[in-house]
Each structure stands twice: as C-alpha cells, then as structure tokens.
Chains A and B, each alone.
Chain A
Amino acid sequence: MSESKEFIVSSGEQLLQPTTRRRFLSVMGMGGAIVFLPSVFAACNNDDTGTGPSGSTTYKLDLSNDTGILNYAYALEQLEAAYYTAALGSAGFAALSTAEQEVFTDLQKHEVIHREFFKTVLGGSAIPAISFNTTTVGTLTANRAVLLSTSQLLEDTGVSAYNGAGKYLTSAANLLVAGKIVSVEARHAAAIRDIRDGTNGRLFAGDDVVNAAGLDVKSEPSTVIAAVNSLNVVVGTVTIGTQPDASKKTADANAPTPT
C-alpha cells in the first residue's frame, strides 16, 4: 500500500474533493512533493463556460430535454476522441501488434466522427469543446496494459451511458441516432475485451457486463458523469445542471469499473 510521495494536481477543482484533500495532506505529512500542473492555473483564467467554486471550468449539462441528452453524448464522444487521438501516439500503442493497432486506428476515426457529428448537429446549442489534461491522459496510454484497460472502461461506459439515456429522448429521430452509435460502441467494447481475453473467447460479452437476463450494462447520467470526473482527464468538471425526468430513472446495472 505504498502511496506515491509525489502528488500531481491538475486542476484547482481537485483540491475541493475530500479524497484529494486527504491525499494532499497525507503527502505533505510524508514530506513529499506537490506538483501543480500548469492546467491548474490555466483553468483559473477560463471561466467563460461556467465557474466552479475554485474558478475552474465547469461544463454544465441540462438533461431535461433532447438537446441536453445529445450534449451529454457529445461530452462523452469528446472524451473518447481525445483519448484515442492521444493513444495513437502513445507508448502503449507502439507496443501493440499490427492487428491490435488496426483496432485503435479505427476507433480513433469513429470517435472523432461521432464528436464532430454531434458538434454539427447541436450547432449553437453545443457545450464548449472540453479541455483535456495531456499529462493524465498520457499516464492512461503509457503502456499496453493501461491502454487496453482504459479503452475497455471507456467503451463499456459509452455503452452503459447510451443504454441508460435512450429512454430520456423524446424524439424518435434522436433515439435512432443514439441507436446507430451505441451498437458501434458495443462493437468497440467487444473488440477491446477480446484483445484482453486472449483465447478464452468469453470476455467480449462477459458476465461482468451482460447479466443473467442477457442485458448489457446501463448507467444513469449521474453515474457516468461521476465516473468521467474521477478519471481526472477533464480540465475542470462536467456537471449536471438539470437532472433528467426522474419518473424514468432506473437502477444502474453492472456499472463499468476499471479492471
């Protein structure tokens, strides 16, 4: 249980989180180093899209209507696109086989397409482009193992997010768009899982994500947003301003966790 003596703070917002504060004090007690990344200060200057208590950027989602749900999808696609774009130049990618690299080059294109598609569809209603922390993203692509485990988490999270959000859409056309994308995310998830599975042949739709009723992962937006923020890759925080229709809320099922 050796906790690092170096503690990297990437955003001012982090300092307001109880777990971060505890760790901060603990590292100080050990005489360790506290590193404030430039992003902490950069974020302080950028409060035009919303201001958190610390002055960092807040990306606020109003999930009471279709535009908000599509912005929620846009936020997730921004994360995936940024991650895979970084991944293509990473040490983790370099360690992959040719066949495995093909998966990542495909995924990067698909996620960038999804991101730009939502940006175009949402037009003036789109949330701003989210800033990502290149340092923390870098640690999540630094080797083959972390690249694959993070990719699996992102793809399963994407599937769970779309599966949980579809019921909040009021337009059949928007639901269809979400449906066209979620099955692609599920294919991605299966491919990444299959790489990690070796020759076992079951993890692509493993019992950890598909339950005994044959149903895939599903998460409410609040669960997904909390998971996204906990990755510490967003400079600032994504928050939910208005919650979706409470009458449609269901329990989360097999919420993805890092493995």
Chain B
Amino acid sequence: MNNQPILDTIDPELAERYAKRHAEIENGSWASPGIIAALAIGSVPIALAALAKDAQGQGTLPTAIKGVLDFALALEIFENEFYKAVLGISGNAAQNAAFAPVRALAAGVPGAVNTLQQIQKHETAHIATLLSTGATNVFGLTENSFDFTGNRSPTGGGPFAKATTDLAFLLEVAQGAEDTGVRAYKGQAGNLMSSSGILEAALRIHSVEARHAARIRRMRRAAAGAPSSVRWSGTVRGGDAAAAGATDLGTNAAAVTLAFNKIYGAGANASTAPSEANTTQAGVNILTLAGANFGTDAAQEAFDEPLDRADVVAIVQPFFIPLIS
C-alpha cells in the first residue's frame, strides 16, 4: 500500500487532472478515463473521487445519494471524535481530560490501545473517503459538537458518563456505536444502487464496521465480565438490550437499557428494520430450514439487520449537541 495519496488532498477536480495524464493506458469504454486511470494505478481514493465526479455530472450528486453520503459522514465524524477523545487526541481538551481515567485502564490491557487506534484510523479514513466521494458536513460538526455522555450538553452529565472511567462500560458503548454503524450502512445500501462505485465503497466501509464490532465483543468476553451471549465469534445474538450483553448499566439503567433497545431492536418500521432477533429472512423461516436446524440463537446470529435513517438518528441524537435529522 505504498501508492495511496494523502486522502484529504484529493478532490474530484484534482483527481481528474491527475488521472487524465494516465488516460491513454486504458482503452475501455465502460467508465470515464479518470476512473480507469485511477484504478490502473491502484488508487482507490482517486478512483472514488473520479466516480464522484462522474456521478456529479454538472457538479451535483443525485439527491438521494448525496443525502446518504452526508448522513454517513456525520456518523463517521461522531465515531472518529469518540475514539479520538478516548485516545486523548481530540481537538477538544476537555474531552481528552474527561476520558483520561479510562484511557489509563485501557493501557493496562494488552492490545486494547492498538485496537482503539486501529479503529480510529479507519474512521478518519472513512471521513476522507466520504468527503472525496462528494459528502458534505451538512451539520457543521466539529470536535465540539458531541456529548459522549448522551445528554446533548457541552458539560455532559448523561447516562453514559461512566464510559469515561470504566473500561467495560466504555467497550459496551463502543460496541453499540459500531453495531449501529453496521445497521445504518446496511439500511442505506438500497439507496446507492444507481451508483455502483459509491455502493461498493459503502459496502466496503460497512464490513469494516462489522470487523470493529466483532473485535470489541471479543475484548469484552476476554475481560471475563461479559456473558456468553457476547459471542467469541463476534456475532450478534438476540435483540433489544439483551443483544448488548451489558452487565453494567451505569447510574441511569433505564436510559441505557432504552438506548440498547433501539440499537438492537426493531426500528419504527419493523418490516424494513427488523430486530436483530429476527429469524425470518426473505420470507424464509430460518428456524425450520431443512438441514440447518440449530435453534434460535444461531438463526439470529447468522444474519445482521438494517436500520432506517430515522432509527439511527434516534439512537445517536443524544450524543450530538446540534440537532440532526
């Protein structure tokens, strides 16, 4: 991977100028010379930027796609700022200070800081990739836009405050954030079908979020506090708060339970956003599949479920100080 450019310097215009110099090396007619050349030189970001340019036409992405990208960007900024605060590298000094106690605890667990750094690196990369694909920070989010305690207040005080001082609780929250990301991208894939390049990029971000969620589950299980419903395989068993496998609900158990119900339960429209406990897929009852009768747990684990945008907003809004939609 020695040919990746600095991501945040790539915009469609720049990518096109760069790519045009290589246009003669390919003669396909299936995409613009910019895309072909970018792919030929192995640069995904440049290819994405060129795809964005293609999709933009006169400079405008289709409204539906632009809306998905903007929303995805907001979620990635949220995740990125969360991990930056945990790691003590946020631009917001108060956030760094708030998470100092849990940061010290993470430093005592082999591999934990490496994992948090690896995840944060990916979230930063996702932001750059989405921006280069045409996303806009429509909510004007900065490092000062978040309350990770879930109280929509610059001074915190919400039900998730314990994440700043307790590693097990922090990992419960991180798992919830990653699983929300998986469900959010899954729910938007259908809205990206008119641009195969952007759809593919979104699918590739989606599976990275799933890898993150799986590793966090394993960290929780390894810490010996999590129940066996938190699978070593990293998969999601059950729905609603039970799927979180949370053993510590902090000082406001009702609020935390409600949040996990939203993260793992059905969305407002249960037909488009079923609970993670769903065992019927494409009209097929998984519990009665011939030759694969393993019971409810495995049937739930074998498929992840989508959420609609409004469901995701309802989950994350308490952590965003500005109102999002």
Which residues of A are in contact with B by a Cβ distance under 8 Å? 99-100, 102-103, 106-107, 109-110, 112-117, 120-121, 159, 162-164, 166-167, 169-170, 172-173, 175-177, 179-191, 194, 197-202, 204-207, 210-218, 246-251, 253
15 contacts between A and B (CB under 8 A): A117-B282, A167-B199, A170-B193, A177-B281, A177-B282, A182-B210, A183-B210, A184-B303, A194-B234, A199-B110, A212-B7, A213-B129, A214-B123, A215-B201, A216-B207
Q: B118 and A201: CB pair below 8 A?
A: yes
Q: B284 and A120: CB pair below 8 A?
A: yes
Q: A110 and B197: CB pair below 8 A?
A: no
Q: Which residues of A contact B302 (CB under 8 A)?
A: 109-110, 113-114, 117, 181, 184
Q: A106 and B218: CB pair below 8 A?
A: no
Residue of A nearest to B6 (CB): A212
Q: B233 and A112: CB pair below 8 A?
A: no
Residue of B nearest to A253 (CB): B44
Among all A-B residue pairs, the 3 with the closest Cβ atoms: A201-B111, A214-B125, A199-B110
Given A163-B207, A181-B303, A110–B196 Cβ distance below 8 Å? no
Which positions 258-298 of chain B face chain A at CB distance < 8 Å? Answer: 281-282, 284, 286, 289-292, 294, 298
Whether B211 sits at the interface, judged by CB under 8 Å, is yes
Which residues of B are in contact with A by a Cβ distance under 8 Å? 1, 4, 7, 30-31, 39-40, 42, 44-45, 47-48, 110-115, 117-119, 121-126, 128-129, 182, 185-186, 189-190, 193, 196-197, 199-201, 203-215, 218, 221, 231-235, 281-282, 284, 286, 289-292, 294, 298-299, 301-306
Among A106, A115, A163, A173, residue most surrounded by chain B Cβ atoms (within 10 Å):
A106
Q: B115 and A247: CB pair below 8 A?
A: no
Q: A180 and B201: CB pair below 8 A?
A: no
**B5 CB to nearest chain A CB (Å):** 9
Q: Which residues of A contact B7 (CB under 8 A)?
A: 212-213
In the complex, what distance in Å separates the CA atom of A128 from the CA atom of B129?
41
Q: A188 and B233: CB pair below 8 A?
A: yes
Q: Which residues of B contact A173 (CB under 8 A)?
A: 282
In the complex, what distance in Å separates the CA atom of A120 from the CA atom of B280?
13
In the complex, what distance in Å separates the CA atom of A170 from the CA atom of B189?
12
In the complex, what distance in Å separates the CA atom of A115 from the CA atom of B128?
37
Of the candidates A99, A180, A188, A251, which one forms a contact with B305 in the assembled complex, judged by CB atoms under 8 Å apart? A180
Residue of A nearest to B274 (CB): A180
Q: Which residues of B contact A163 (CB under 8 A)?
A: 200, 203-204, 207
Given A106-B235, A213-B48, A205–B118 Cβ distance below 8 Å? yes
In the complex, what distance in Å separates the CA atom of A163 from the CA atom of B214?
18
Of the candidates A167, A188, A213, which one forms a contact with B45 in the assembled complex, judged by CB atoms under 8 Å apart? A213
**B117 CB to nearest chain A CB (Å):** 8
Given A103-B232, A210-B208, A204–B214 Cβ distance below 8 Å? yes
Interchain pairs with CB closer than 8 A, number = 248
In the complex, what distance in Å separates the CA atom of A103 from the CA atom of B125?
30
In the complex, what distance in Å separates the CA atom of A212 from the CA atom of B207?
15
Residue of B nearest to A185 (CB): B207
In the complex, what distance in Å separates the CA atom of A11 from the CA atom of B197?
39
Q: B30 and A247: CB pair below 8 A?
A: yes
Q: B215 and A194: CB pair below 8 A?
A: yes
**A161 CB to nearest chain B CB (Å):** 11
Q: Which residues of A contact B48 (CB under 8 A)?
A: 213
Q: B189 and A179: CB pair below 8 A?
A: yes
Q: B211 and A210: CB pair below 8 A?
A: yes
Of the candidates A99, A175, A251, which one forms a contact with B232 in the assembled complex, judged by CB atoms under 8 Å apart? A99
Q: B4 and A218: CB pair below 8 A?
A: no
Q: A176 and B190: CB pair below 8 A?
A: yes
Q: B111 and A106: CB pair below 8 A?
A: no
Q: B215 and A117: CB pair below 8 A?
A: no
In the complex, what distance in Å separates the CA atom of A12 from the CA atom of B1?
39
Q: A162 and B291: CB pair below 8 A?
A: no
- 18 A-B pairs besides A214-B121, A251-B40 with CB distance below 8 A are A109-B298, A110-B235, A113-B298, A120-B290, A162-B207, A175-B193, A177-B281, A179-B304, A184-B210, A184-B301, A184-B302, A186-B214, A187-B210, A190-B215, A200-B114, A204-B212, A214-B128, A253-B44
Q: Which residues of B contact A250 (CB under 8 A)?
A: 39, 47, 196-197, 200
Of the candidates A120, A183, A190, A247, which one forms a contact with B186 in the assembled complex, judged by CB atoms under 8 Å apart? A183
Of the candidates B45, B196, B211, B290, which one forms a contact with A205 in the assembled complex, judged by CB atoms under 8 Å apart? B211
